[in-house]
Amino acid sequence: MGSIGDDPADSGPGGDNPTGAGTGSGAGVPGTGAGPGTPGSPGECTPGIAATSQIPRLTNAQYDRTVRDLLGITALTASGNVAPSTLLATDQAGGLTDLGWSAYTSVAEMIAAQVMSDPALRSNFLKCTPTGDGAACLHDTVIEFGRRAFRRPLTDAEVARFDAIVAKGPEITASGAPEEVAEVLLYMFLISPSFIQRAEISETPDGAGRFALSNHEVASRLSYMLWGTIPDEALNQAADQGQLSTSEQIRAQARRMLQDPRARQMVAGFHRDYLELGANTRWDSAQRDTTLFPVFDRSLIPIMAEETERFFDHVVFTLGGTFQEFFLSPIAFVNAATAPLYGLDPARFGSELEEITLDASQRPGFLTRVGFLNAYSSYNRTSPILRGVFITKDVLGIDPGTPPPGALETPLPEGADLDTNRKRVDAQTAGAACAGCHHNYINPPGFVMEAYDAVGTWQTQEASTGAPINTVADVRIDGEPVRVTGPVDLMARLAASPNAQRQYAQKWVSYAYERDGHPLDSCTVDDLATKITAGGYTVLDLITDLTQSESFRIRAVALE
């Protein structure tokens, strides 16, 4: 069961990876000869809570958002106006190396200097004006800023240690001026483990050999899961008042927080993950033979990606929509540059993306939008393999494996009887090592998507030969081959597929809990998938319910 790539001659100048072995989700095109991986499905789940690190470090993205919301810092001007995390080590678990620690101290020094040199930024740190030796103001700053930076009130011992730094101001600064001491104080906060790490060290037993998170730890989990940054004042107040102890209290805060623009950023990040959309993926590397597709221009690539992101945001937040609507909604965002790809008159549009309703008989859901269709095509033709792999693997959760040696070099056959791209790809993948995977799993959904050419325009016949496009195929969905008549039929079946629904739920659990497919999360996945299947269950409902599991409120320690 090998994956056969496209004709190497199709790659074009510096062009697409014609084999499908590129970056992103459709990347490794399947096949090991052993048959495809079985998609996840509901069954006998194993109740339990995955062991978690008690002191995970902020990820680089979380670090950037945290210093933005704490201090208003979005870029380090002393280092070429770059995001603070640019100078940190790449995200990694485990111990911190000397080099990694040095990066934290260097960035903290730059942030502290930048804040204290800018009156607008300084007010985010100092809420008072130092007078005399500044000790009283700086003491208040230790308590107020420390509460926000550490995501909890400081202990008396911690306050005493920071006060001691203030007292030593004349010894550790050039002049002992309060502003100089304040800069040292801020630096010390930024290199503190309680700032860099999200400590979860409560030892309150839950009665089952595990530990219940404290209200402040719950607040931190909520804010970093839903916003990727520190709690706001309302969440801090709820934690201080012990109002994050019950599921309903947590649910109420989650619902409130999902109305904040920062939640939109987090949800957008998840869907970029789901789509494998981002830098150095198929989404930003498309090239086309412009003699065949004169409407294509590389300047369209970011616009098409933005349209896709706008579509997902619209379904989740504007419509308050469900998983099913990702595959069924005819809403699109089009401007004058992309209108021709949809067969629309560009004169009707300006340069800004505009919400419109497309023909639902041709364009239901994100897989029919020009962003996906361009990302998963070849230089001079469509790629049923790339499109089919994405649907099989990323939507339905079936992982067919990796290609056997030499599969990617199999040429695309020619012949008078091979008058469509579908026939050529079908013949290309007919070998014994490839047919089992391609003919049963990968090719069929890709063949259905042949209704769209390599730049995403609707087509009913092969451009080079005039032969009719055949979009009927037996697509394996939920373990059984299903006769699908075209893209609209396929989108409806994907929307209704329990495997596709479970795959989406699984990806959310992995993303929100920051661990990949842990077996002890299977009950949570099953519960969410069951609710999706029942219908009427919005994506915002799903995200809120991620805060309701035991895994969200309880910490388990790994056994030695």
**Annotated domain spans of the chain:** 60-196
Position 179 pLDDT exceeds 90: yes
Position 9 pLDDT exceeds 50: no
Position 522 pLDDT exceeds 60: yes
Position 10 pLDDT exceeds 90: no
Position 33 pLDDT exceeds 60: no
What does the pLDDT read at residue 43? 60
- Give the confidence band of 25 by pLDDT, cuts at 50, 70, 90: very low
pLDDT in tens, 51-101: 987 789 999 999 999 999 999 999 999 888 999 999 999 998 888 999 999
To the nearest whole number, what is the mean pLDDT of the chain? 91
**Residue 267 tokens, joined:** 């949800």
**Do the beta carbons of residue 17 and residue 396 sit within 8 Å?**
no
Position 132 pLDDT exceeds 60: yes
Position 213 pLDDT exceeds 90: yes
- What is the average per-residue pLDDT within 399-418? 85
- What is the average per-residue pLDDT within 432-444? 93
For the purposes of burial, counting CB atoms within 10 Å of the CB of 93, is it exposed (0-12), middle (13-18) or buried (19 or more)? exposed
* Interacting residues of 352 by C-beta distance below 8 A, sequence separation 6+: 335
- What is the average per-residue pLDDT within 289-304? 96
Instruction: Give the global pTM.
Output: 0.91
- Give the confidence band of 36 by pLDDT, cuts at 50, 70, 90: low
- What is the average per-residue pLDDT within 105-128? 97
Neighbours of 274 (CB within 10 A): 19
What does the pLDDT read at residue 558? 78
What does the pLDDT read at residue 32? 35
- What is the average per-residue pLDDT within 488-506? 98
Helices (H), 191-332: 193-196, 215-226, 233-240, 247-257, 261-275, 300-313, 325-328
- Give the confidence band of 406 by pLDDT, cuts at 50, 70, 90: confident
CA distance 143 to 10: 64
**Do the beta carbons of residue 7 and residue 411 sit within 8 Å?**
yes
**Do the beta carbons of residue 338 and residue 332 sit within 8 Å?**
no
Position 485 pLDDT exceeds 50: yes
Position 22 pLDDT exceeds 70: no
CA distance 235 to 229: 12
Could you tell me the CA-to-CA distances from 448 to 27, 84, 93, 308, 387 in Å, in that order? 20, 46, 42, 21, 10
Q: Which is nearest to 455 in space by CA: 370, 357, 331?
A: 370
Q: Which is nearest to 335 in space by CA: 351, 323, 320, 347?
A: 351
**Do the beta carbons of residue 309 and residue 346 sit within 8 Å?**
no
- What is the average per-residue pLDDT within 336-353? 98
- Give the confidence band of 13 by pLDDT, cuts at 50, 70, 90: very low
Dihedral angle, C-alpha 62, 63, 69, 70, nearest 10 ° = 140
Position 1 pLDDT exceeds 60: no
Position 443 pLDDT exceeds 90: yes
Neighbours of 308 (CB within 10 A): 22
Bigger pLDDT: 404 or 516? 516
CA distance 124 to 117: 12
What does the pLDDT read at residue 560? 55
- Give the confidence band of 402 by pLDDT, cuts at 50, 70, 90: confident
* Interacting residues of 286 by C-beta distance below 8 A, sequence separation 6+: 16, 298, 301, 374, 375, 377
What does the pLDDT read at residue 41? 52
